[in-house]
Structure 1
């Protein structure tokens, strides 16, 4: 009796969590106009409906062995394509249209609809094992259930591969557009998608094959834990606006292929001087929120030309170049002053101490403290680094 009461309690907690989280996510989406947050609010609302379903059927301990039993798992499996739409929108901003979503959801709807249509002609009976239930159903109904589960597994593999592939491309776009990664990176999404896949497999397995109170309680606790972590990640995540532009080239970009070698060299030389002035004189790298659009505006060009300049001429992404400038600035501060590491990170233009440590180790192959210890007694470096000193042009074959 106590375990049953706990089961109802955690069911109610899960329902309350999903309702409140869905409302909050919808409000955040309305304020920011973020499509991923809207899709996530839909996922949370769907989970709230599933919790209502679980609360309704929990009054019948043997519900999963009734004719309708396997049909109750279809709504749970439908969570997967909904979540995939959310993740796809994160890594492919603006690509999720109504037609694209309909193509992904249609097989789930058709298979579930065919199964439920067949159940409408079956008497409602109670069975004592899952195998007995499947054996008593018409031949095509277990086949529909099997096809649904197999399609879900294949879809899960497809979605995970697509998410990882596009998240890597997304990470490259971030490096081309932003000088910071605080709260806008998607490293968390790769492990979170794997956790969600394991969670859904465990969840479906438990509700399909058992109705004992301990397993049901474990399911609710697992649901609260996994979705709570995902909710925390999403609410804190910043949706980078200019990433949308990277799915298509800027419309007003001149065709560089029509340039003569002399014109191209002149344009690159002029752009090099403009970037050097922005870095050496105006020290734009000290702005923790600097983007490639900001630097392009200062240089009188656009982000496409500037991104090509960094990649083709300097052989380094925008973010790595700016962080290299910041690290060089930090070493000058460290040599001439007695700053704490936290202060150095802020003075050098980094958004966090963690990012400072990571960038410093990448450039100097040592920690800031190790660098200080190895340069004790040396004269402080004066002056600003020129662009040619920070990143030499890539040699052409």
Structure 2
């Protein structure tokens, strides 16, 4: 009795959460024009309908959470393609169109439709376990039901692999276009996709092998926890506009006429001087929202040439180069003043303390506090290196390619 009361309670809490979160996400998507947030609002709305279905099913003892019964499984597992559209839109902005969506939805609709049509011509049977479904093969309804569950599990694996693959490409593009990652990175999505895949496959296993009330409670609790964390991540996410251009014009973006070796070298040297001037004099890296488009405009070039310069000449992405400049600026500030770490992060151009910690540890191999303690008594040197930040290795091997450096502030 207590378990049933807990089931109804969790069912009601879940319904309230999905309705509230779905409405908030929908209005946010309308205000910002964000396709990913709109797709996620659709997912939340679909989950709210599932909770309504569960609520009414629980009133009928004969059908009590027997999701392997008539068509109970299909609405639940239809969440898979809907949620995958949201993830695909995040890692491949603008590439999810109606034709692509219909192709992914077709097997789910076909199997679900076949089952519903079969109910009109075959006796309906309640299957309490996957074993009962298998024992009734090769009848149409259990075969269709089994194919649906197997396909859903396989789709989970397919979607997870695709999400991880394209999220890595997305991360590379972010590093080439932005000097910051606050609220636009997708590190959370890779492990969140893994958790969701585990949740959905576990859910399939639970509904296939048991109808125990304990597992019903576990499913509701796990669903609330997973969707709650995912909602928290999504509501904080911002859509990086530059990434849209990378994906949509990737095959032939910013085509430039061919250059001979002499012209290329002259352009690189001129760009080296422009970058050094932008860093040394104007200190563009102190802008927390600096993008490669902004810096390209300041240097009188385009983002493609500038990105190639950082990657080919300095061996760094745009983000790594700018963060290296910021870290060096923070080190100089440490030598002259006893700032708090939060103050250092802001003064050095970082958008958050977390990003400052990560970049500093990457460049110096230790935390800012540790560095500050070890160099508390040190004084700033009268001059810095005469190479661009990030070009130390190139300066040793190819000194003729190295330009002016950041001056001491």
Structure 1 stretches of at least 4 aligned residues deviating more than 4 Å after TM superposition:
64-68, 124-138, 249-252, 382-387, 392-396
* Partner of residue 402, structure 2: none
CA distance in 2, matches of 1:252, 1:358: 32
Contact 1:280 1:384 in 2 (8 A): no
TM-score, length-normalised on structure 1?
0.92
CA distance in 1, matches of 2:103, 2:59: 36
Q: Measure how far apart 1:131 and its partner are.
A: 4.2
- Note closer, same or farther for the CA distance 1:126–1:308 as it changes in structure 2 (3 Å cut): closer
* Residues 135-178 of structure 1: per-residue CA shift (max 9 Å, x gap): 45761222222222222222211111111111111111111111
Contact 2:108 2:148 in 1 (8 A): yes
TM-score, length-normalised on structure 2?
0.89
CA distance in 1, matches of 2:67, 2:205: 18
Q: Which runs of 5+ in 1 are unaligned?
A: none
CA distance in 1, matches of 2:238, 2:65: 45
* Partner of residue 290, structure 2: 290
* Partner of residue 263, structure 1: 263
* Partner of residue 11, structure 2: 11
Q: Measure how far apart 1:76 and its partner are.
A: 0.9
* Partner of residue 227, structure 2: 227
Contact 1:179 1:322 in 2 (8 A): yes
Q: Measure how far apart 1:254 and its partner are.
A: 4.5
Q: Measure how far apart 1:106 and its partner are.
A: 0.6
SS at match of 1:100: helix
Do structure 1's residue 381 and structure 2's residue 381 form an aligned pair? yes
* Partner of residue 105, structure 2: 105
Contact 2:164 2:190 in 1 (8 A): yes
CA distance in 1, matches of 2:46, 2:386: 55
SS at match of 1:62: helix
CA distance in 1, matches of 2:67, 2:183: 47
- Note closer, same or farther for the CA distance 1:124–1:162 as it changes in structure 2 (3 Å cut): closer
CA distance in 1, matches of 2:188, 2:132: 43
CA distance in 2, matches of 1:290, 1:385: 24
CA distance in 2, matches of 1:330, 1:127: 66
* Partner of residue 239, structure 2: 239
Q: Measure how far apart 1:44 and its partner are.
A: 0.6
CA distance in 2, matches of 1:361, 1:56: 54
Contact 2:69 2:127 in 1 (8 A): no
CA RMSD of aligned residues (A): 2.4
* Number of equivalenced pairs: 395
Q: Which runs of 5+ in 2 are unaligned?
A: 399-409
Contact 1:67 1:124 in 2 (8 A): no
Q: Measure how far apart 1:222 and its partner are.
A: 1.5
* Partner of residue 55, structure 1: 55
SS at match of 1:71: coil
User: What does 1:258-337 align with in structure 2 at a 5 Å threshold?
Assistant: 258-337=258-337
User: What does 1:150-229 align with in structure 2 at a 5 Å threshold?
Assistant: 150-229=150-229
SS at match of 2:121: coil
Q: Measure how far apart 1:23 and its partner are.
A: 0.8
SS at match of 2:388: helix
Deviates most, 31-40 or 58-67: 58-67
CA distance in 1, matches of 2:123, 2:376: 86
Do structure 1's residue 120 and structure 2's residue 120 form an aligned pair? yes
* Partner of residue 401, structure 2: none
CA distance in 2, matches of 1:373, 1:129: 63
- Note closer, same or farther for the CA distance 1:376–1:263 as it changes in structure 2 (3 Å cut): same
